[in-house]
Chain A
Amino acid sequence: MSYHAGEYDVIVIGAGHAGSEAALAAARLGSKTLLLTINLDTIAFMPCNPSIGGPAKGIVVREIDALGGQMALTTDLTYIQMRLLNTGKGPAVQALRAQSDKALYGRVMKETIENQENLTLRQGMVERIVANGGKVAGVVTQTGAQYFAKAVVLTTGTYLRGRIIIGDVSYQSGPNGQLPSMRLTDSLIDLGFSLTRFKTGTPPRVNRNSICFDHLAAQPGDPEPRHFSFRDDVAPRDQMDCWLTYTTEDTHGIIGENLHRAPMFSGDIEGRGPRYCPSIEDKVVRFRDRPAHQVFLEPEGRNTAEWYVQGLSTSLPEDVQVQMLRTIPGLERVEMLRPGYAIEYDAMLPTQLWPTLETKMVSGLFTAGQINGTSGYEEAAGQGIMAGINAAMHALNREPVVLHRSDAYIGVMIDDLVTKGTSEPYRLLTSRAEYRLLLRNDNADERLMDIGHRIGLLPNERYDRFLAKREGVEAEKRRLRSVRVQPSQLEEVFSDRGIAMPSAAVTLEQLLKRPEIDYTLLNQMFPSGETVSDEVSQQVEIDTKYEGYVTRQTQEINKQKKLEELRLPADIEFSAIAGLSNESKEKLAQVKPMNVGQASRIEGVSPADISVLLIWLEARSRRRAANG
């Protein structure tokens, strides 16, 4: 029995990290939005690590904030530990990482969603996506509710035909005992999509009261915690420590004895797992001669004794997990609260998507998050906000938004996914970005707030704050360029510190470019009349010191952007273009790049193929001109 349950501009399926951002973005852009999810009690739930951020990922969180998204603020309001990582390794790779209070995070996100104008939240399991003539029309739930919409965003995470495996036991399930979504896969296949099977895993959880901390090393948060969101109004929070311990020879012994019961080795798992998140049994087998592996003990929240055992992801049988845990210093008498497990699920081949995250096959249908073959909360949220924006744009008949690889890690990720696909769960790493020096933690606002504000997602007051900062940065840079100092003015400080003297007068800018001189020292010697905020001085310092490299990368980007501007017609028949190699004809037809720039990044498409495409485009436009 089904019934007509309502009409919307945008329907978002799933309220995980992707779905929450998507729904909030769509609603904030003014489209009437419905958010459907299996269980209202697990909104923005973290089925794995209680942590948000880290290298590359933390920068994504800043980017989401700069566009007008939610993840940064919710994290700032709920963290139990905050650290700035990579401080000694250069500003381009610095990143924030927070330990989250899992339950609180979900609750704050739920409240935000409940109170968002234009947004309706409803519990429901979607079983079918309805499309007519290649266009999405709506969805049908298990209970027979039919919802209609101009755009649908699918963010089902690891729920599609989920199967949990613990040793020799396996059962159908979503993560963490949630209901799996068993029927939706068929609907997607009916629509013509190709799916693949991926897997991931999580470690056991233990009771804090059974841990002995006496000989463990504490890992405290930063004494002066920073925050993710570009705002002045978030207060620092009390922090909790994490703890470090190690596996032992005994741990490895127990794993070795029980390998035959590990599904990864007995062949019970068909899904493809990520290389960068191997289970402890994987690690012990692949790196046999390591005597110990790190294990971090992390609180899952302020009001719970449940702790996460990072480093011990496993799908070994439950009894082995307990034995294994108790070989680890500090955990000799530990009580395991939940076993670790592996989970298999269906994911879409992301090359079926346009860079807007809209599916090529069904207009108005968007997908985001783990269903697109990624792994990680931040990756999911980054796609979620873009899918939400573009679904709203679609519903409102406005121009879609695509971030370039040089704009954001989000752009890098989406471009990688839709251009190259992925054969394992995809995780962002800083090395995936060719313009890493530009995609920094400190300048996410500079990179994205113009876009966020232009489309109407970033509120005016936040944009104004940014404009003031931008002006502050420009003003200070002007000062550094205009003030010249004589060698004699430097003599005292320089000789004290053993810094080589310049032979003639220099500008402050030139001084700041020298590695031994930082902004703090410079400002001590030649103070600015005005107060310069940390945010501003940091930006000035980085921009100045990096200038040479940034200019070089910007030149490369501009060249690439020209290719990006050359659009390829959607109906292009690559197989008919003489001069393309057969391999690239196939790849191009499969990926259907939107422009020559994207084509150039497809694996197997050579520079020569690009030349052929350029000539073909020019020939085509000449023929058209000739035919009037």
Chain B
Amino acid sequence: MDSDTIAAIATAVGEASIAVIRVSGSCALGVVDRIFRGRVSLEQAPSHTVWHGWIVRLDSGQHIDEVLVTVMKAPRSYTTEDVVEIGCHGGTQAVQAILLELLRAGARLAEPGEFTKRAFLGGRVDLAQAEGVMELIGAQTVAGKDAALRQVEGSLTKLIKALRQNIVELMAHIEVTIDYPEHDVEEATSELIKDGVTRLSRELRDLIATAASGRVLKTGIRTVIVGRPNVGKSSLLNQLARAERAIVTDIPGTTRDIVEEGIQIAGVPLRVSDTAGIRETTDVVERLGVMRSRQAIKDADLLLIVIDASEALEEEDEELLALVSSLPAIVVLNKMDLPPRIGLEEISQHVALERIVQYSVFRPELLRDLEQAILRVVFGGELQPRDATFLANARHLSLLEQASVSLQQVLESLDMGVTLDVLAVDLRQAWVTLGEIIGETPREDLLDQIFSQFCLGK
């Protein structure tokens, strides 16, 4: 169905030692082949084999990282399409660089839930999982255009909007020349288009240079688990990470330093920190831990405030709940398996209901509720990652480059004396591609532009 090739980081983004990037689609093998140097071409490799080699830059052939590549051919793969998994060194630099190269080679960044969607459409995963994906995609729909916009830093958005406006003016000029051949508007001549596109092309290249040098992939949404001692923070981290990362005991004050773990929820990378329980204490080491916890709260993009529902609310709980007004947060009402001493009503005085998750680490089926709640915040609009660039960067860069190629094509065509109807195709492509970065789709804009810019009529 979706035959285009998608790519995403399949492991948690973070400082883990190994990361896996997954590529799926009818051209997955070909796309990876363009940037993989090993003993074989992957198109020729048998299914379910692993190959050692290097990922290189598409343009210069320069080595980026040493990798192990696994080939799984359709239909014997998760998505039932051709799938390539690239195991590379962990660390954000290498991962981002490889991802960018994949996008340059013809893949596009997977949407949240897209691998599962394809698996389902291919007849793999079961209904329940698919329904989860539908909800997730739904959350993203709600965010829609804003989400796309938010990923882009304000100044970049402005520049792109200005570029697009210039392009659409030029397009309108061409369209009027075509659709109103006898009108006394100045014709969109080759010189006129050439001047315009040359200037735009230069501006776009400058933009690419800034974007490429200035930013690196950030490591995901900083998510901080906070709460009083012994409420179950470390247990929660372990559950989200699906691994025993933090020590859990029934002794309050177990966690003394911040424990960090990269995870992904449906393709969205989060950097989750477990912190020392917050309380007044005389223990020097623990006090330092509490200080770090408070610092972590300040740096957080998203807070998970854990409250022990089997105990009455304490001053520290109230103090944490008060943070909700200033930061995106989810309240995890933990230990609901025990007789509760705090009701929903009490918490909902501080926090909107959809921000509260009733929880128990002994009921793992509730984990999905929590993950969905997190995704709702992520896609629902209020989350403003401080560096606003997670994952998005590679995508933006590759789209900027594609737009630049389209403009370049216009210039080449002009030199070869190609006619307006063809020039219009590449110009429009540049405009559409730039629009994708900021979540704008074409449609009526062009017509609006034509009729406001030119005086037409019978």
A residues adjacent to B (C-beta < 8 A): 48-49, 54-56, 85-86, 88-93, 203, 275-280, 282-283, 286-287, 290, 293-294, 296, 310-311, 313, 429-432, 436-437, 514-516, 546, 549, 559, 562, 577-581, 584, 603, 606-609, 611-612, 614-616, 618-619, 622-623
Contact = CB atoms under 8 A, between A and B. Distances in A.
Contact of A275 (B127, B136, B177, B451): B451
B141 A584 contact: yes
A614 B116 CA distance: 12
Interface stretch (B276-284, B321-329, B387-395, B418-426): B418-426
A580 B138 contact: yes
Contacts of B133: 615
18 contacts: A55-B181, A93-B420, A275-B451, A278-B455, A283-B457, A290-B455, A294-B182, A311-B457, A430-B175, A431-B446, A432-B447, A436-B424, A579-B135, A580-B138, A581-B138, A581-B141, A615-B133, A615-B134
Contacts of A603: 443
Contacts of A516: 417
A606 B111 CA distance: 13
Given A277-B458, A278-B457, A580-B138, A431 B447 contact: yes
Nearest to A203: B458
A611 B178 CA distance: 36
Contact of B178 (A89, A514, A616): A89
B121 A615 contact: yes
Contacts of B182: 85, 294, 296
Pick the most buried of B142, B179, B417: most chain A CB atoms within 10 A of its CB. Answer: B179
Given A429-B179, A608-B137, A93 B421 contact: yes
Contacts of B457: 276-280, 282-283, 311, 313
Given A91-B421, A579-B138, 8 more contacts: A89-B181, A90-B419, A276-B456, A276-B457, A430-B178, A437-B425, A606-B144, A612-B137
B120 interface: yes
Nearest to A279: B457
A559 B3 CA distance: 8
Contact of A431 (B130, B138, B179): B179
B135 A578 contact: yes
A239 B178 CA distance: 25
Contacts of B137: 579, 608, 611-612, 615
Given A608-B140, A618-B130, A437 B121 contact: no
A292 to B, nearest CB: 8
A578 B134 contact: yes
A277 B181 CA distance: 15
A89 B177 contact: yes
A579 B446 CA distance: 31
B438 to A, nearest CB: 15
A618 B421 contact: no
A92 B134 contact: no
Given A278-B457, A294-B183, A615 B120 contact: yes
A203 B422 CA distance: 36
Contacts of B416: 514-515
Interface of B: 1, 3-4, 111, 113-114, 117, 120-121, 127, 130-131, 133-138, 140-142, 144, 175, 177-184, 416-422, 424-425, 443, 446-447, 450-451, 455-458
A431 B171 CA distance: 10
A49 B422 CA distance: 31
B141 A580 contact: yes
A516 to B, nearest CB: 7
A619 B458 contact: no
B443 A437 contact: no
A277 B183 CA distance: 13
A578 B131 contact: yes
Contacts of A287: 455
A618 B422 contact: no
A616 B133 CA distance: 11
A584 B422 CA distance: 34
A278 B450 CA distance: 13
A619 B455 CA distance: 52
A254 B51 CA distance: 82
A140 to B, nearest CB: 37
A483 B117 CA distance: 50
Contacts of B450: 429, 431
A578 B144 CA distance: 16
A578 B455 contact: no
Contacts of B183: 294
Contact of A276 (B4, B184, B446, B451): B451
A90 to B, nearest CB: 3
Contact of A86 (B142, B181, B443, B447): B181
B212 to A, nearest CB: 27
Contacts of B131: 578, 619
A564 B419 CA distance: 32
Contacts of B1: 562, 614
Contacts of B456: 276, 278
Contact of A293 (B130, B179, B455): B455
B175 to A, nearest CB: 5
Contacts of B135: 578-579
A608 B137 CA distance: 6
Given A294-B183, A562-B1, A515 B418 contact: yes
A345 to B, nearest CB: 18
State the 7 A-B residue pairs at the shortest beta-carbon distance, nearest first.
A90-B419, A579-B138, A90-B421, A579-B134, A92-B421, A581-B141, A287-B455
Given A93-B178, A429-B447, A516-B417, A437 B458 contact: no
A584 B182 CA distance: 41
Pick the most buried of A89, A90, A311, A603: most chain B CB atoms within 10 A of its CB. Answer: A89
A611 B111 contact: yes
B239 to A, nearest CB: 25
Given A549-B422, A614-B1, A581 B181 contact: no
A599 to B, nearest CB: 13
B455 A286 contact: yes
A294 B34 CA distance: 56
Contacts of A559: 3-4
Given A313-B458, A437-B421, A606-B141, A85 B117 contact: no
Given A283-B457, A437-B425, A611-B111, A619 B130 contact: yes
Contacts of A49: 458
Given A430-B179, A580-B138, A608-B111, A89 B420 contact: yes
B457 to A, nearest CB: 4
A243 B183 CA distance: 14
Nearest to B419: A90
Nearest to A92: B421
A544 to B, nearest CB: 13
B458 A611 contact: no
A615 B138 CA distance: 12
Contact of B422 (A277, A546, A607): A546
A608 B141 contact: yes
A280 B456 CA distance: 10
A581 B135 CA distance: 10
Nearest to B134: A579
Given A614-B1, A615-B120, A581 B175 contact: no
Nearest to B432: A434
Contacts of A612: 134, 137-138, 141
B422 A86 contact: no
A89 B447 contact: no
Given A313-B457, A581-B144, A89 B111 contact: no
Contact of B141 (A91, A92, A278, A579): A579
A546 B420 CA distance: 13
A579 B117 CA distance: 13
Nearest to A429: B179
Contacts of A514: 416
A53 to B, nearest CB: 11
A609 B141 contact: yes
B117 A614 contact: yes
B181 A618 contact: no
